[in-house]
Amino acid sequence: MRGTLVVEDGTTAEGVFFGSNRRVFGELVFNTNMTGYTEALTDPSYRGQILMMTYPLIGNYGVDPASMESKEIQVTGFVVKEACPMPVHPKATMGVDRFLQEQGRPGLSGVDTRMLTIKTRTRGTMRAALVPEGGDLEGAMKEVRAMPFPDTRNLVAECSTRERIEYPGPPGRTFVVIDCGVKMNIVREAQRHGRVVQLPYDATPEDVARHKPDGVIISNGPGDPAHPDILASPVKTAKEIATEYPILGICLGHQILGLAFGGRTYKLKFGHRGGNQPVKDLRTGRVHITSQNHGFAVDAKSMEASEFTITHMNLNDNTVEGMLHKELPVFSVQYHPEAHPGPWDNGYIFREFAEMARG
């Protein structure tokens, strides 16, 4: 069956529907990775978004459930140039078409993703819809233009755990992960260094203290870090526990720490999503290639009078990529050191945090 991508600027792109045959709405974003579509589809940071891959061939190695970053597909819809119908890989249990179909998510193939990416870079992130053949395109366009952006919702609450989850690890250290939409590879990396307790995004300082952690990780996640519900919960908690435990903020967690210490955040024109973002460590001069997925950033000027020193900068647009508290054992990175998928340059972040937690 054919279908159409409808974008708020009036663009329509017709292609072939795969996965689930249903109409969906979301924020159209693009990812520049050549691999890792399973991880991207299941990354909670994509909640509420229609994900478009810039690499032209997607699905050639199938889907291995062990690569999933959460228990379900998080994206609203999927857009690709070509969806491989016959994947080949010894670990694959299904193709992308069946994966999307089983979880009720539509995909669209056969569209000019290069044109759509250039348009997004020029115009900025836009609202969009995927409409199956026979659907009302004019009506869908009106809905797209009238709908609020997904980040006006509390997207974190939609994907955060509601129960405490414990993961075993080497004895001697316990890490609490405040789950704002955590990728499972963050949990797995933390497990290399100790036991992990995953708590809901709205965990209180008392909830954290109950587990006597040696360190706290504030995770990645979707949406606007300055959403009122986020300001009232993880931002407030981060400020209150900063003098009690070493803290590592990752992606949204980095923005949450910025807000907790008086900074501001803002929405990027089209975000950073992919595995090839160059980040410079201002302390050493070394440039790391990083995996990223975010649509908001910390305002560098707002941190000048704060208790943080900026440690990392993005070489593409000079956005803040890392911060270190001047006195407390608290630091953060905007990128994804767990790199799943992506370059392994930044695995040292977890080792540094484990050493900090050791004392």
- Identify the three-state secondary structure at position 105: coil
- Between CA 186 and CA 183 the distance in angstroms is 6
Which region holds residue 53: left if phi is over 0, alpha if psi is between -120 and 50, else beta?
A: beta
Separation in Å, CA 70 to CA 14, 201, 254: 30, 15, 20
Q: How many CB atoms lie within 10 A of CB 2?
A: 12
Which residues have a catalytic role annotated? 251, 336, 338
Burial class (CB in 10 A: 0-12, 13-18, 19+), 318: exposed
C-beta atoms surrounding 56 within 10 Å: 11
Using CA atoms, how far residue 165 sits from 39, 106, 139, in Å, is 21, 31, 43
Q: Where are the alpha helices (DSSP H) in the chain?
A: 37-41, 96-102, 113-123, 137-146, 155-159, 184-191, 205-209, 228-230, 236-241, 252-260, 348-358
> Do 3 and 16 form a contact (C-beta atoms < 8 A)?
yes
User: CA 243, CA 70: separation in Å to the nearest integer?
Assistant: 31
